[in-house]
Chains A and B, each alone.
Chain A
């Protein structure tokens, strides 16, 4: 199976530069459906699903490889190499912001610019650093995935049974872009919420835009400012949008900010 199939990579548009969009924890590349089309005129847009999400190849899921964000970053670099990307723009939401940071350290030539939407290098508080969650709260989240996983799986599991060849099952496909295999969801939650990439931020050489929402409980403004300070060549834009997904709730603002930046 090729990298393109494994990560369900979709390229559109015709610019000479590439803009790669990476989705965060929870959903798949559909997260960018209100944003990516705006750049198809000037850029070659690249969308993909992380292994374990969306229409990626679930059989390619390897608990060891994807037990750290580095495994996801390796996939991103592989996709970039496969497409021959150089000097492109990377746009990563949520946990994919850090995946992009790691990929840019592994392959600095690939991305000239990084756009980090709602980034957090560490979700758990640590001394002076306020990540937004206590270790206990994250433990509870992970535990609730263990003993309450039926609740999530009831809404998320059926995608693996959905069959695109049978249109009469199309009702089954509603909610599908947020569904994933419960075991993989659990593992992805763990790697997302327990990772610590603070030390990687000062090493980034690409110019960076941090897009921060107001009132984001997953990645607070404080965290956004921290990321902006730690990155050597970075600017911060606070969007007039609330929640963790401005790519859905305020796509015009996201598009405008990215356009100004690139």
Chain B
């Protein structure tokens, strides 16, 4: 037979009076008229006065002005309304005038008939907690300030960028006028009798004028695109081939030493901006002239099949490295140039924008055999039937 014995080891029993007086928190009890009737030693020690001196005072007498106002306007109503409040942050003012941050819980003790007997308040020191909370508040204020500063910086940057692009647009526009004068002068000179040397120089001049004009077009288009104007299209159902032929002829006349083979098979009119498609083709051929092997011909093709217009430009020479192919169509991208002719790096970007504006696409394929840029765009079947 087993006897079950109590397992509690003999020891001192808890002294409830002592627990009250020396609890690890402050206690106070308030009469219905608001006067403090009982307070424990822990709280008296925190306040730095004998407990006796706290009796008869009101809780608000222990608080700073802010706490007093908030106690009256917020926490006293709360207590009356729900019979308790929890986790209220208060600052006690100690005998020496310093603040003691505390967290207070409070509960009303009522008699069976509902009469208020006491309001009991328990206080916990919250020095560290309050410091931590203030650090959080400060950190948040600092983050807000940093965010605001960043926003200001961003706004300034944005304004600067806008100004820069407006400047480019204005510049591009103003550059056209002197260029037009040079071109007109060269044409007039060509009508006079000239020796071979002079004609050669005139060829060079007009070639440069044409190239410069193309560069300005690109700059203007780029700036306009960035300014929110977008790529303006003048679409109409019209023949495309004459424009492409003209583009090729122009470039042939400038790059006399280079061979450009064109194969155009466009039997129908096409709904597009022919000027823009001409610009796209011109940009791609100019690109091939700048980067392709000088000895190898440049091949240009334009055709329609299966409701798609396809224009491709191919050149020989070293392939475009794979990593460069990814950024090829970004503005101001420039590959390693062999010819020494400096461009802006806008030609391919503008070409791809033109393709996009037409609902088409521009892709590149490059290997040791050839580098080929292919533009395709859907062509409405109705126009293809014409």
Contact = CB atoms under 8 A, between A and B. Distances in A.
B77 A178 contact: yes
Contacts of B60: 217
Given A140-B65, A218-B72, A244-B73, A154 B87 contact: yes
Interface stretch (A83-91, A143-151, A162-170, A195-203): A143-151
Greatest chain B CB density within 10 A among A147, A151, A174, A216 is at A151
Interface in B73-87: 73-78, 80-82, 85-87
A245 B64 contact: no
B34 interface: yes
A27 B134 contact: no
Contact of A26 (B33, B64, B65, B73): B73
A175 interface: yes
Interface of B: 33-34, 60, 64-66, 68-70, 72-78, 80-82, 85-91, 101, 130, 133-134, 136-137
Greatest chain A CB density within 10 A among B34, B77, B134 is at B77
Interface in A227-251: 242-245, 248-249
Given A150-B133, A154-B133, A217 B72 contact: yes
Given A27-B74, A147-B137, A148-B91, 12 more contacts: A144-B64, A147-B134, A148-B66, A150-B89, A150-B137, A151-B101, A155-B74, A175-B85, A177-B78, A217-B69, A245-B72, A245-B76
Contacts of A242: 33-34
B89 A244 contact: no
A141 interface: yes
Contacts of B89: 148, 150-152, 154-155
B137 A94 contact: no
A30 interface: yes
B73 A152 contact: no
Given A149-B137, A243-B76, A218 B87 contact: no
Interface of A: 24-27, 30-31, 33, 94, 133, 137, 140-141, 144-145, 147-152, 154-156, 174-175, 177-178, 193, 215-218, 242-245, 248-249
Greatest chain A CB density within 10 A among B78, B82, B86 is at B78
B142 to A, nearest CB: 13
A155 B87 contact: yes
B134 A249 contact: no
Contacts, number: 95
A148 B90 CA distance: 10
Contacts of A26: 70, 73-74, 77
Contact of B73 (A24, A144, A150): A24
A201 to B, nearest CB: 22
B227 to A, nearest CB: 35
A196 to B, nearest CB: 18
Contacts of B73: 24-27, 94, 218, 244-245
The 6 closest A-B pairs by CB, nearest first: A151-B89, A26-B73, A150-B133, A144-B66, A248-B80, A244-B72
8 contacts: A26-B77, A33-B81, A148-B130, A151-B90, A151-B130, A216-B72, A217-B69, A248-B80
A243 B33 CA distance: 10
Greatest chain B CB density within 10 A among A148, A242, A245 is at A148
A25 B87 CA distance: 20
A140 B68 CA distance: 12
A154 B85 CA distance: 13
A8 to B, nearest CB: 17
A30 B68 CA distance: 21
A33 B68 CA distance: 24
Contacts of B133: 150-151, 154
